[in-house]
Chain A
Amino acid sequence: MSNDTKTPATPAPESPAVDPRLLQREAGLQGYVNEFVRKVRGGELGSLPVIIGLIVIWAVFSLNDGKFFAPSTAEFVAYYMVGVGLLSIGLVFVLLLGEIDLSVGSVSGLAAAFFAVISVNDGLNPWLAVLLTLAGGALVGALQGWVFAKIGVPAFVVTLSGFLAWQGVMLWLLGSTGTINLPDTGLIHFLSGNSYFLGGDISGAYILAALAVASLAVGSFLEQGRRRKAGVPFRATGEIVLRSVLLAIGAFGVAYVLNQASGVPNAAVLFLALLIIADFVLRRTAYGRKIFAVGGNIEASRRAGISVSAIRISVYAISGAFAALGGLAIAAETGAAGQAGSDPNNLMMAIAAAVIGGTSLFGGRGRVWSALLGMLVISSIQSGLYMLGLNLDIQYMIMGVVLLAAVVVDSLSRRTQKSSGRG
């Protein structure tokens, strides 16, 4: 290297000049199409593989069984995805840290048993019992997080022992009877299969759909206004309209189909509300930014003044609380807290849903919506196979293949991203 290293760059152009290598979208529809093609080529697939997968799954099942595309199937999927889906939301938080929580299935079973004991056997106010159960779930999660963050035991081992231990506690709580029936009141009624938004009134589903579309459109336009005023790039009006129209088609379509059956299950409404809240926390708050940062680079987070242990403990507490709520939802499906409450399948399905939905197992990449997308895939397969009258053995085999396919797509797209400098 010569002594005058700085000469090649001295004739620097005036500062705001646009770099020719800058990624810029051309104007108009063609620009969007080009950008989309570029992203797909570059491996930035986003939710595309899941959505294609869903369409393929639906097509295959409807070809095999004409009754698959029925409102009752949609109703079934919308209701039965909630319990495990709630576990999956908590898991997305943990996966974003690049860790794993194997205890969510057991914690959910324990929560249902705990709730049954204090509300049915001890006669506590059901709503107070719900609060205690959720707090208990958070406490259990925080305890595991503390052992992991402060003592330094690998999360895999901590939560694996939690998986065993909490199941034991649940069996001990349930005692010799093994099952405690839950009265159809309070939150259990709300989460049960015969509770619908606005009592199943036709307007209920449409109100929800209208709310969703309106909040997306209004939110986007407000953001566009602020960005325009601040002089930073903003979404074009056409794009916002297009997004809103797409959401409207989807939301009102689902609302129409569910109205053909009995309406929107309240459990699904709760699930959606929690998804929106979790998404907001992860993307719009400093706390969520810290979770992504810790998942991306622990040392960088520490130097930026983030308390890594506090983030880890709190994330495991969140996972525990979601597991407890999921446990209540699963118990409400059958109206009883039983030994099957901690079914390890629930754990596996919850992890599978998050991964199928596109959350990376390696931390730092993902969205809570993957819990919803993944559960849609899993529930669709489950209900489709059930309608075809296939046995559990086939179901598990197909599920395994789908999960593997999802991870393969993830790994391949990551490799493409690396080679095109976007990984």
Chain B
Amino acid sequence: MTSAPVLALRGVSKRFGAVQALTDVELEVHAGEVVALVGDNGAGKSTLVKTIAGVHPIDEGEIEWEGTPVSIQRPQDAQQLGVATVYQDLALCDNLDVVGNLFLGRELKRRGTLDEVAMEQKARELLDTLSIRIPSVRIPIAGLSGGQRQVVAIARSLIGEPKVVILDEPTAALGVEQTAQVLDLVERLRERNLGVILISHNMADVRAVADTVAVLRLGRNNGSFPVQETTQETIIAAITGATENAVTRRQARTAEAAK
């Protein structure tokens, strides 16, 4: 991972009225890397993701795409660059079948009419390469389980051939088996050389699939750790700010006084 990151945030700040939501945030995502973005409630994870997805344009700082600075003002800008976002509410149409949902808004056409055959063929190919198993691509979303819906939503984000996929709490409401399915899928995204930003509260998930953990605390970077060499306690300490308390502050003070 020595090449330039696909996506990099340099000193990004975002303010909503009186609230400074993000301050000088740095984040790098390389191709084929899973970056877990963790932090307590209100740490700025969602805001950060929304700045990348183009929902909220940034106030200060720079977003770099494959080494060159870009401006993301609208969701369309992000989509054109190749950022796909899967939000927590999956936004699938219950009444449409899997193929219809995968291609919603990007239907393949043949002489002005829907090309169901080509769409079904592509959908099967995509689901096969991701080893997603669902009863049938012609089943309405209403007939799928929560985990199956989540993998369909993730697969749907891949139709536009993105380079970075942002997953917002993909395992939040899932059972053990379904969580495993989704985590498998995340690994497969990495194998396809995509950059993945995974927002999660679940340390087990993060440790299972992420390469790097980026911790946000109160809108600032609070450390970025390679997962392999970091203990869970260190990460949790960074999330909760346990590294910064009365005891550590006193140590710092005495160390300074000693100088």
- The residue in chain B whose Cβ has the minimal distance to the Cβ of A305 is B105
Instruction: Count how many pairs of residues, one from A and one from B, have CB atoms less than 8 Å apart in the complex.
Output: 126
A422 with B104: CB separation less than 8 A: no
- The interface residues of chain A lying within 8 Å CB-to-CB of B117 are 223, 226-227, 230, 232
Residues 93-135 of B, flagged 1 when their CB comes within 8 A of A and 0 if not, give 1111000110011110100111001101100100011010111
- The interface residues of chain B lying within 8 Å CB-to-CB of A293 are 93, 96, 100, 104
Q: How far apart sit A295 and B208, CA to CA, in the bound complex (Å)? A: 39
A301 with B93: CB separation less than 8 A: yes
Q: Counting chain B CB atoms within 10 Å of each CB, which of A284, A285, A286, A421 scores highest?
A: A286
- The residue in chain B whose Cβ has the minimal distance to the Cβ of A284 is B113
A19-27, A124-132, A176-184 - interface stretch: A19-27
Q: Is A197 an interface residue, CB under 8 A from the partner?
A: no
A23 with B135: CB separation less than 8 A: yes
Q: How far apart sit A288 and B187, CA to CA, in the bound complex (Å)? A: 36
A422 and B143 contact, Cβ closer than 8 Å, known pairs A5-B176, A232-B121, A284-B114: yes
B107 with A289: CB separation less than 8 A: yes
A8 with B177: CB separation less than 8 A: yes
B91 with A5: CB separation less than 8 A: no
- The residue in chain A whose Cβ has the minimal distance to the Cβ of B232 is A3
Q: Is B183 an interface residue, CB under 8 A from the partner?
A: yes
B205 nearest CB across to chain A (Å): 6
Residues of B within 8 Å of A, CB-based: how many?
51
Q: Is B179 an interface residue, CB under 8 A from the partner?
A: yes
Q: Counting chain B CB atoms within 10 Å of each CB, which of A289, A292, A365 scores highest?
A: A289
- The interface residues of chain B lying within 8 Å CB-to-CB of A363 are 95
Question: Which of these, B93, B131, B139, B180, contacts A8 with CB under 8 Å?
Answer: B180
Question: Which of these, B95, B120, B136, B205, contacts A22 with CB under 8 Å?
Answer: B136
Q: Is B19 an interface residue, CB under 8 A from the partner?
A: no
B96 with A296: CB separation less than 8 A: yes
Identify which of residues 191-247 in chain B touch chain A, using a CB-to-CB cut-off of 8 Å.
202-205, 207-209, 232
Q: Is B140 an interface residue, CB under 8 A from the partner?
A: yes
- The residue in chain A whose Cβ has the minimal distance to the Cβ of B205 is A5
- The interface residues of chain B lying within 8 Å CB-to-CB of A292 are 93, 95-96, 100
A285 and B114 contact, Cβ closer than 8 Å, known pairs A6-B180, A297-B92, A297-B93: yes
Q: Is A219 an interface residue, CB under 8 A from the partner?
A: no
- The interface residues of chain A lying within 8 Å CB-to-CB of B120 are 227, 230, 232
Q: Is B184 an interface residue, CB under 8 A from the partner?
A: yes
A300 with B104: CB separation less than 8 A: yes
- The interface residues of chain B lying within 8 Å CB-to-CB of A16 are 128
- The residue in chain B whose Cβ has the minimal distance to the Cβ of A223 is B117
Q: How far apart sit A423 and B94, CA to CA, in the bound complex (Å)? A: 9
Q: Is B256 an interface residue, CB under 8 A from the partner?
A: no
- The interface residues of chain A lying within 8 Å CB-to-CB of B91 are 297, 299-300, 303-304
Q: How far apart sit A10 and B181, CA to CA, in the bound complex (Å)? A: 9
- The interface residues of chain B lying within 8 Å CB-to-CB of A12 are 131, 184
A230 and B118 contact, Cβ closer than 8 Å, known pairs A5-B205, A15-B131, A300-B104: yes
- The interface residues of chain A lying within 8 Å CB-to-CB of B121 are 230-232
A364 with B135: CB separation less than 8 A: no
A364 and B183 contact, Cβ closer than 8 Å, known pairs A8-B177, A285-B114: no
Residues 1-35 of A, flagged 1 when their CB comes within 8 A of B and 0 if not, give 11111101110100110010111000000000000
Q: How far apart sit A216 and B56, CA to CA, in the bound complex (Å)? A: 51
A1-B204, A6-B180 known; 20 other A-B pairs, CB under 8 Å? A1-B202, A3-B203, A5-B180, A5-B183, A6-B208, A9-B184, A10-B184, A15-B131, A21-B135, A22-B135, A227-B120, A232-B120, A232-B121, A285-B113, A289-B100, A293-B104, A295-B95, A306-B105, A364-B93, A365-B95
- Residues of A near any B CB (own CB < 8 A): 1-6, 8-10, 12, 15-16, 19, 21-23, 223, 226-227, 230-232, 280, 284-286, 289, 292-293, 295-297, 299-301, 303-306, 363-365, 417, 421-423
A-B residue pairs in contact (CB < 8 Å), sample of 30: A1-B176, A2-B204, A3-B204, A6-B183, A6-B208, A8-B176, A9-B177, A9-B181, A9-B183, A9-B184, A19-B134, A23-B136, A226-B117, A232-B120, A232-B121, A280-B113, A285-B113, A286-B109, A289-B100, A293-B93, A293-B100, A297-B91, A300-B93, A304-B105, A364-B94, A364-B95, A417-B142, A422-B140, A423-B142, A423-B143
